[in-house]
Amino acid sequence: MGDDFEALDAELARHGWDWEHELVCDSFRLSCAPELPPEADEKALEAWITAHIDW
């Protein structure tokens, strides 16, 4: 997925998400990805998004 970061960023923007903001936003983690631990890194969040968002 790392090679497709720009595509992921564009797709998130199309859905109204600001990737950089949402990446560090605790409310996003709590409301959308509560099973992710607070220390989850960018790769863990990317994996969660890929597995749970129906594009």
9 Cβ contact partners less than 8 Å away, ≥ 6 residues apart: 19
What per-residue confidence (pLDDT) applies to 51? 83
pLDDT by residue (tens digit) across 19-38? 665 555 555 665 666 677 77
Q: How far is CA 45 from the centre of its chain?
A: 5
Domain ranges of the chain: 2-52
Cβ–Cβ < 8 Å for 23, 45: yes
Both tokens of residue 34? 């509560």
Statement: residue 47 has pLDDT above 80: yes
Model pLDDT, residue 23: 57
CA 39, CA 43: separation in Å to the nearest integer? 11
pTM of the model: 0.40
